[in-house]
Structure 1
Amino acid sequence: MYRYIKNFTILFLGIAIVSSCSKDILPRNQETADTVFNDPNAYIQALAKIYAGIALSGQQGPAGSPDISGIDEGFSNYLRQYWKAQELSTDLAKIAWNDGNIKDYHTHNWSPSNEFIRATYDRIIYQVALANEFIRQTSDEKLASRGVTGTLLEEIQEYRAEARFMRALSYWHALDLFGNVPFVTDLDGIGAFLPKQISREDLFVYIEEELLEIESQMIAPRQNDFGRADAAAAWTLLAKLYLNAEVYVNEGHYTEALTYINKVIDAGYQVNQNAPYSYLFLADNDTNPSASELIFSINFDGKNTQNYGGMTFLVHASIGGSMIPSDFGVNSGWFGIRTTSAFVNKFPDINGTDSRGAFYTDGQNKEIADQSLFTDGYAMVKFKNVDVNGNAGSDPTGDFPDTDFPMFRLADVYLMYAEAVLRGGQGGSVTQATDYINILRSRAYGNSNGNISTAQLTLDFILDERARELYWEGHRRTDLIRFGKFTGGAYLWPWKGGIQQGTATESYKDLYPIPSTDLIANPTLNQNTGYN
């Protein structure tokens, strides 16, 4: 699909998010969207741009033509910013850099003026805007006026459902991170106006209704191109929405979560117990034996998706100290992200029985005394730009990886099943949940030595197992909030609250603030509680 991105630069050329009063598509080119879409090829090209909005930072790559203004193009990448908001604020990741206010994530000391939180927020709104314009341009009326019929019409209707999924995904990120956000859909006109703020409860209902409506319109599971959403991706997102409903709307929806979890499990995805856990995070994870586990990925290609966010950031920034970059298929380490002792302690031994604990300890201190020193904290070797045979990715410079990011995978769904059952959801059993967990642990241990009994399957175990299985995949903050351990003092980790040993933080920080730039631009918006 990414071969289409560079060809489609008219409709979405030069979009910039500058304030809440211009939150929708504003084409700067004189050629209108209606004219562009007279070309049948424009539809797949425009859809490619929506998918690329998660992976890329601008129109040109790797720098020089950013999609959003006010922040370095590499910093502004959607996946890079989402990952930081989800992981740097937890026990799983610390970053050594001193760029701006980045360490506010570690200390839970962020404010509405934090530029990284603003970039995350702007990226989400920009992505919604891309999807909105595509959905406008693919309405029944628009397509009929252009004489679109037959096979092309059927294909475009599938594209439209995918665009609605991508919009729902970004609105879910907004719901989870910010709660009450400006709300714009394809039914709103383009141009400068003040979007109304939607409540978290109403946004939950909107996302739910969207996903339920497009469920039957999506391509069947495992029948779409790799990296494009299908019905199973929509089911997984619905399950995540329901699993977190008690946080979002103060209602338990665990039975509904299990309904869609079971649909995903029955769709034919497989956890390959004969392939090492590490295969999931290599440059050929779209084709190697672990690819059967991936439900929805954010795709990267070292030659065609060149930017300094996404997997470029996750691979390079994980390397430093005495680590050898070529072992990871890249030309340099950025001496950035590593983990805390709180995460290390969740494994029975280091680099031992549980293969998921892939810690690099040579020259690294387990404890973080200096947050700005890469060698304080064990490094991780999760993401690599090499294939199963050790060959480096396609970019000969070693700058940009081929590794795809696993947004949704079956292991996560297995863990969701177990949690939903223990929280009282109907449609599953503790016995089956234990079996699913042991599939993951058998892969991790290489045998049954790490398997658990039904009596050992508790909510606390599941939270720790989610950390061991899914670390650095963008889930941790959401998980800790759902278990009541992100803020407050029930669970401490190094530098939580700005203290080396960790301290309690205020519960209102379970939500990030609406950026002050948007509050100034749109006086109809209200700040999240606690940030005034």
Structure 2
Amino acid sequence: MKESKIIYTVVLFVSILLGGCVNDLDVSPIDPDVNTPNNVFDSEEAYKEALAKLYASYALSGQLGNGGGDPDISGIDEGFGNYIRQYWSLQQLSTDEAIMAWDDATIKNFHWQTWAPNDTFIAAMYSRIFYTVTISNEFIRNVDAAIGDASGTFKTDLEAYKEEARFIRAFSYWHAIDMFGNVPFVTEEDLPGAFFPERILRADLFDYIETELLDIESKITAVGNNEYARADQGAVWMLLAKLYLNAEVYTGTERNSDALTYVEKIIGGGYSLEPVYENLFRADNNLSNEIIFPIAFDGQNTQQYGGMTFLLHASVGGDMPLNGIDGGWGGIRAIQDMVEKFGVSESDFSTADPEFTAITDKRGMFYYDPASWEWDITNVGTFTQGIGVTKFKNISSDGGEAPNAHPTFVSTDLPVFRLGDAYLMYAEIVVRGGGGDMGTAVGYVNELRTRAGVGSITAADMDLDFLLDERSRELYWEGHRRTDLIRFGEFTDGTEHWEWKGNVQSGVATDAYRDLFPIPSNDLNANPNLEQNDGYPQ
């Protein structure tokens, strides 16, 4: 987050979390006497500050920053329980793109795909999703109560804020439908209090998210007319495209032609590819016209040991370059299955050039010193077994210091949605028979490959196997891989058996029911309306 970004004012208004959420972590709501609607929404400015809290729920996990002290949800360490930290971990560590060396609780189970319903990390992700949903509901209720008496600019602002809050709620409900399937469901119509939230089926939640987004589309701020890091029409289009592209997974019915409609809106929406790929992942990436919707971070104003601070520090260890941070935590790295998709092998790296600067595909930003690292992972807990990733950096595109630089906390934003992904989505829709033009699809893919410095493809090369690999080359470590592998039928029982999948070094298939995470045990026990996902112990 730079000066142009929305300021993350830490305001907490009353938010009664879903009954029984994640009791194994002793999760409970923050004391509602600290802040209530009466003293939070006490001025016109307070509504924007409260809206900022909704956005901040992805980047921060508490009220004070600086690593903790006043958490949103008691019982979860603020850094550990950070929304983006958990989302990234569940989306990436469970795939062929990343593996964790740490022994924190059950963290290794994600790459092994051996998690259980009482998993602490799954419970943390689940609770963050529904915390964001709940404070969004509360915000919408308060805006609805105020808007009738508002006039002029204030009324216009409230109307805009409400649509952004609805988008944020839909965005988190998308995470719920993608990760957990059939979940508790509440809206602003369900007043806070002691009740058991009803369970909504995955297909019905799909319909709700779709209906919400279609209504928001014409009401939210137009593309390019909102402050940086706030949702606009482009973010709505991209979320609709994502929803439709994965519709067969979520509902059993493909909606690729609908996905095409919104991908084409994005491509025609005024965005442009960032000329230099690596600048998308540096500390001044807010300057890029490719990014459609980011989660913003700032070294001075979003200080917490989650989010991008976690991602940059945890991916650095050994003799890797620090790239603007004050030290590495030696946790996450890539496995050979991903790196070899870039056409490189162990012999390409040397002690003199451990970053293999001559790599053809400039999207591949890796570190491997054969004098001190091992290509094969025989011990998952040894960070220097595997290949380091240097994709994200806390330095500016000119090599200088990050904006609002801090030695620990980073200023690099997470590009949640960007145009390069839309190009690949267009190509996938064409290959899946959802419409579009093959020549156009080939052109989009080749624009990405030209930027990367690799050769062009032809229509004969364009099939689903190629696209799944190309999505990894273009989007690795950006939080898409688990969803992609499931859509392509390769997450669990497909033919992709990467290193240590199934807790076997050579990799094995796992049970298909793991395409969904389990409903956390204690929420299941606390709410009689819920049912466990198939395959997991009831």
**394-403 or 95-104: bigger deviation:** 394-403
Question: 394, 398, 411: which one pairs with 2:407?
Answer: 398
8 Å CA contact retained: 2:22, 2:123: no
User: Cα distance 1:27–1:421, how it changes in 2: closer, same or farther (>3 A)?
Assistant: farther
1:230 alignment partner in structure 2: 232
Q: CA deviation at 1:36?
A: 3.2
8 Å CA contact retained: 2:8, 2:301: no
Alpha-carbon distance in structure 2 between the residues aligned to 1:488 and 1:115: 25
Alpha-carbon distance in structure 2 between the residues aligned to 1:329 and 1:475: 25
8 Å CA contact retained: 1:16, 1:69: no
The amino acid across from 2:396 in the alignment is: D
Q: CA deviation at 1:344?
A: 1.2
**350-359 or 259-268: bigger deviation:** 350-359
1:335 alignment partner in structure 2: 330
1:414 alignment partner in structure 2: 423
User: Cα distance 1:476–1:52, how it changes in 2: closer, same or farther (>3 A)?
Assistant: same
8 Å CA contact retained: 1:21, 1:194: no
The amino acid across from 2:527 in the alignment is: N
**How do 1:156-235 residues align onto structure 2 when only pairs under 5 Å count?**
156-235=158-237
Q: CA deviation at 1:324?
A: 3.1
Secondary structure in 2 aligned to 1:346? helix
1:493 alignment partner in structure 2: 498
Secondary structure in 1 aligned to 2:195? coil
**How do 1:13-412 residues align onto structure 2 when only pairs under 5 Å count?**
19-20=20-21, 28-29=32-33, 32-61=36-65, 62-139=67-144, 141-144=145-148, 147-272=149-274, 275-287=275-287, 291-325=288-322, 328-349=323-344, 351=356, 352-362=359-369, 363-394=372-403, 397-412=406-421
Alpha-carbon distance in structure 1 between the residues aligned to 2:512 and 2:258: 27
Q: CA deviation at 1:29?
A: 2.3
Alpha-carbon distance in structure 2 between the residues aligned to 1:131 and 1:476: 27
The amino acid across from 1:19 in the alignment is: G
8 Å CA contact retained: 2:178, 2:250: yes
The amino acid across from 2:429 in the alignment is: A
1:85-128 Cα shifts (integer Å, max 9, x gaps) = 10000000001100000111011100000000000000000010
8 Å CA contact retained: 1:25, 1:129: no
1:3 alignment partner in structure 2: 7
Q: CA deviation at 1:189?
A: 0.7
Question: 420, 434, 439: which one pairs with 2:447?
Answer: 439
User: Cα distance 1:43–1:200, how it changes in 2: closer, same or farther (>3 A)?
Assistant: same
Alpha-carbon distance in structure 1 between the residues aligned to 2:510 and 2:22: 33
1:170-229 Cα shifts (integer Å, max 9, x gaps) = 000000000000001001011221001100010000000000010001111111111011
**How do 1:444-463 residues align onto structure 2 when only pairs under 5 Å count?**
444-445=452-453, 449-463=454-468
The amino acid across from 2:320 in the alignment is: M
The amino acid across from 2:163 in the alignment is: A
Secondary structure in 2 aligned to 1:48? helix
User: Cα distance 1:403–1:395, how it changes in 2: closer, same or farther (>3 A)?
Assistant: same
User: Cα distance 1:30–1:492, how it changes in 2: closer, same or farther (>3 A)?
Assistant: closer
The amino acid across from 2:196 in the alignment is: L
Alpha-carbon distance in structure 2 between the residues aligned to 1:413 and 1:31: 41
- What residue ranges of structure 2 are gaps of 5+ in the alignment? 349-355
The amino acid across from 1:375 in the alignment is: T
8 Å CA contact retained: 1:24, 1:191: no
Alpha-carbon distance in structure 2 between the residues aligned to 1:308 and 1:26: 20
Secondary structure in 2 aligned to 1:138? helix
Secondary structure in 2 aligned to 1:189? coil
Alpha-carbon distance in structure 1 between the residues aligned to 2:86 and 2:245: 23
Alpha-carbon distance in structure 1 between the residues aligned to 2:40 and 2:315: 42
8 Å CA contact retained: 2:6, 2:230: no
Q: CA deviation at 1:69?
A: 2.7
1:507 alignment partner in structure 2: 512
- What residue ranges of structure 1 are gaps of 5+ in the alignment? none
8 Å CA contact retained: 2:14, 2:36: no
Secondary structure in 1 aligned to 2:254? coil
Alpha-carbon distance in structure 2 between the residues aligned to 1:318 and 1:26: 32
The amino acid across from 1:175 in the alignment is: I
**351-360 or 406-415: bigger deviation:** 351-360
Alpha-carbon distance in structure 2 between the residues aligned to 1:16 and 1:103: 29
Alpha-carbon distance in structure 1 between the residues aligned to 2:329 and 2:503: 24
Secondary structure in 1 aligned to 2:286? coil
Q: CA deviation at 1:27?
A: 6.2
TM-score by length of 2: 0.93
Secondary structure in 2 aligned to 1:408? strand
Alpha-carbon distance in structure 2 between the residues aligned to 1:492 and 1:98: 23
The amino acid across from 2:7 in the alignment is: R
Question: 502, 513, 522: which one pairs with 1:517?
Answer: 522
Alpha-carbon distance in structure 2 between the residues aligned to 1:453 and 1:225: 39
User: Cα distance 1:409–1:127, how it changes in 2: closer, same or farther (>3 A)?
Assistant: same
8 Å CA contact retained: 2:59, 2:297: yes
Alpha-carbon distance in structure 2 between the residues aligned to 1:253 and 1:16: 33
8 Å CA contact retained: 1:276, 1:443: yes
1:325-367 Cα shifts (integer Å, max 9, x gaps) = 2xx1010000011011110110123541100111101132222
The amino acid across from 2:45 in the alignment is: N
8 Å CA contact retained: 1:19, 1:517: yes
Alpha-carbon distance in structure 2 between the residues aligned to 1:365 and 1:21: 39
Runs of 4+ in 1 over 3 A off after TM superposition: 1-4, 15-18, 20-27, 394-397
8 Å CA contact retained: 1:311, 1:404: yes
Q: CA deviation at 1:24?
A: 11
The amino acid across from 2:426 in the alignment is: Y
Q: CA deviation at 1:526?
A: 0.4
RMSD: 1.8
Q: CA deviation at 1:32?
A: 3.6
Alpha-carbon distance in structure 2 between the residues aligned to 1:194 and 1:111: 24
